[in-house]
Amino acid sequence: MSRALRTEAGAIGIETLGMTMRFGEFTALDDVSITVPAGSFHALLGENGAGKSTLVKCIMGFYRATAGELLVAGQEARMTDPRVAQALGLGMVYQHFTLVPSLTAAENLVISRADAPAVIDWRRERARLAAFMETMPFKVPLEQPVSRLAAGEKQKLEILKQLYLGNRFLILDEPTSVLTPDEADEVLGHVRGLTEAGEITVLMITHKFREVTAFADAVSILRRGRHVGGGKVGEISVEEMSRAMMGKAPEVSKRARAGTERREVMRLRGVRAQDRTGLKSIEIEDVALNSGEILGIAGISGNGQMELMEVLTGQRRTMGGEITVKGAPFGATRAEARTHRMRYLPEEPLRNACAPRMSVAENLAFRIFDEGRNGKPAFWKNDRAIARNATTLIEGFKVKTASPAARIASLSGGNVQRAVLGRELTGEVDALIVSNPCFGLDFAAVSTIRDRLMAARNAGTAILLISEDLDEIMELSDRILVMSEGQIAFETPVETADIGEIGRHMAGHGE
């Protein structure tokens, strides 16, 4: 068999022929043909809504393509069901982890097998796992609960799990978005090694050009559902890639920081709350957020940032301490947030800030629907205002949607993010609390969103920016705090900030 179809070590190549996917009138994928030879590392690029996830869902059998064929190791495969993909050795690693946090790595691997027996003979399974691990080029601690592993370890474990399941063609959907840059390089380095050894073939969705040029062999680019370009890495420049993605040369944004008057908008003193596990707590000693500044909170995911966000949005009870807004006690109710003109962009906005079954227009109207004239509550829905508001925000934030009446859950991940941020940034906003606002966005959208945040800051909004992306924190913040083990471990103004020092505090060994 030729190398393109299957390597000696077992990696499988795939090919799509004229893959097409329609959702009603809307064509999400239009006649896409790509070839991913066995043992290669292929990148898939495209703006938010370009059709990347749709393409891989068709390959994996989560969607039944409207038209087109899939060849797996040269044979036509009928992807009627995700189990077919598994049986053929196709596997997928998602952006978010799918491991069970309270189980150990070993337990996670064993239970993930479709043929896992009802009663597990752990002695035998451990021996089997140990033998498997011997053949792997990298290791993960097997006997600790997954919740104790760092993000990079978890992502490595997700990949090991696929290999353990016998999958030889892996789709990685933005695998590094939850990793630090060092972790990302390490994980992708291992993936690269496995493709070079002919153990696996990889198709990776990413928004990061650096990952494409540093690790991939070839790239395919989608725009509006069409395959618009690609080629061998090294033969295609970053400029050509971004032009193919957007249909035009990328704009370079100049983001000016304007000096504004600083007033204290929000203050947290001795605020304590339980963390997700209920075993530990977070404690914020004294943090003030001022108007016209971006206060960045850096930290590795899982160090209490999520809990802090929940406290500020009224989704988690505090066990002590005090939050004040403009000097008055603040209990994070919806009414208070409205009075103080506070807005939020939580993580995973589809789950935490949307009504998934409602339309895009309705979701965009959450801030206005019960507001009548002069901002007083109205007791009926103003359909015309809702439509006008939707059109403005869809245009202003370039939300790609079939129509304002489409369900928000049908939008691509990046477009949900844009829609929610558009909604939260509209009107006069005194304080904005955001968590990983650019997670999963394409680079053009990242640039737009960061421009908007800076513009809001320059207009006097106080912004609390919780982010795992250190580049983002450095780019936008006026002051930087580091959160570690539920506490603020470090503070520095951006002018004198040192990345290495921040990194050490993030990792929990500052002094």
List, as one string, the DSSP characters of 320-352: EEEEEETTEE----HHHHHHTTEEEE-SSHHHH
325 CB contacts (<8 Å, ≥6 apart)? 265, 266, 336, 340, 342, 431
Site string for ligand ATP, 163-182 (x = CB under 6 A): --------------------
Asked if residue 133 lies in contact with residue 125, where contact means CB atoms within 8 angstroms, the answer is no
Q: In what order do the strands lie in the sheet with 26-36?
A: 26-36, 14-23, 67-72, 75-77
Minimum distance from residue 357 beta carbon to ligand ATP (Å): 13
Tell me which of ligand ATP, Mg ion, none is bound by residue 122, counting a contact when its beta carbon lies within the kind-specific cut-off of 5 to 8 angstroms.
Answer: none
Identity of residue 333: T
CA distance 122 to 32: 46
Q: Is 436 in the site for Mg ion (CB under 5 A)?
A: no
- Which residue's CB comes closest to Mg ion? 53
CA distance 430 to 326: 10
Q: Is 496 helix (H, G, I), strand (E, B) or coil?
A: helix
| Two structure tokens written together for 415 | 């477009």
CA distance 166 to 107: 17
Minimum distance from residue 294 beta carbon to ligand ATP (Å): 25
Q: Is 412 in the site for ligand ATP (CB under 6 A)?
A: yes
Closest CB to ligand ATP among residues 53, 492: 53
Minimum distance from residue 413 beta carbon to Mg ion (Å): 5
Asked if residue 197 lies in contact with residue 9, where contact means CB atoms within 8 angstroms, the answer is yes
Identity of residue 414: G
Minimum distance from residue 51 beta carbon to ligand ATP (Å): 4
Asked if residue 457 lies in contact with residue 294, where contact means CB atoms within 8 angstroms, the answer is yes
Closest CB to ligand ATP among residues 49, 230: 49
Closest CB to ligand ATP among residues 49, 486: 49
Q: Is 26 helix (H, G, I), strand (E, B) or coil?
A: strand
- From candidates 410, 426, 458, 487, binder to ligand ATP by CB under 6 A: 410
Closest CB to ligand ATP among residues 7, 48: 48
Minimum distance from residue 347 beta carbon to ligand ATP (Å): 15
Closest CB to ligand ATP among residues 105, 411: 411
Closest CB to ligand ATP among residues 37, 49: 49
Residues 378-407 that bind ligand ATP (CB under 6 A): 400
Minimum distance from residue 53 beta carbon to ligand ATP (Å): 3
Asked if residue 410 lies in contact with residue 402, where contact means CB atoms within 8 angstroms, the answer is yes
Q: Which of 34, 272, 270, 350 is nearest to 171 (CA)?
A: 34
Closest CB to ligand ATP among residues 195, 412: 412
- From candidates 16, 40, 53, 290, binder to Mg ion by CB under 5 A: 53
Q: Which of 258, 198, 158 is nearest to 37 (CA)?
A: 198
The DSSP call for residue 236 is B
Minimum distance from residue 170 beta carbon to ligand ATP (Å): 17
Identity of residue 305: Q
Tell me which of Mg ion, ligand ATP, none is bound by residue 49, counting a contact when its beta carbon lies within the kind-specific cut-off of 5 to 8 angstroms.
Answer: ligand ATP
Q: Is 16 in the site for ligand ATP (CB under 6 A)?
A: no
Minimum distance from residue 50 beta carbon to ligand ATP (Å): 4
Residues 401-420 that bind Mg ion (CB under 5 A): 413
Residue 61's alpha-carbon distances to 93, 150, 204, 261, 354, in angstroms, are 15, 31, 17, 56, 27
Closest CB to Mg ion among residues 222, 431: 222
Minimum distance from residue 224 beta carbon to ligand ATP (Å): 8
Tell me which of ligand ATP, Mg ion, none is bound by residue 89, counting a contact when its beta carbon lies within the kind-specific cut-off of 5 to 8 angstroms.
Answer: none
Minimum distance from residue 382 beta carbon to ligand ATP (Å): 26
Residues 28-87 that bind ligand ATP (CB under 6 A): 28, 46, 48-54
Residues 195-214 that bind ligand ATP (CB under 6 A): none
Q: Is 97 exposed, middle or buried (0-12, 13-18, 19+ CB in 10 A)?
A: middle
- From candidates 411, 421, 482, 502, binder to ligand ATP by CB under 6 A: 411
| Two structure tokens written together for 287 | 């943090």
Minimum distance from residue 350 beta carbon to Mg ion (Å): 12
Residues 357-396 that bind Mg ion (CB under 5 A): none
Please give the biggest Cα pair distance in the chain: 74
Q: Is 6 helix (H, G, I), strand (E, B) or coil?
A: strand
- From candidates 296, 349, 414, 422, binder to ligand ATP by CB under 6 A: 414
The DSSP call for residue 407 is B
User: Given the rule CB under 6 A, which residues bind ligand ATP?
Assistant: 23, 26, 28, 46, 48-54, 400, 410-415, 442
User: Given the rule CB under 5 A, which residues bind Mg ion?
Assistant: 53, 413
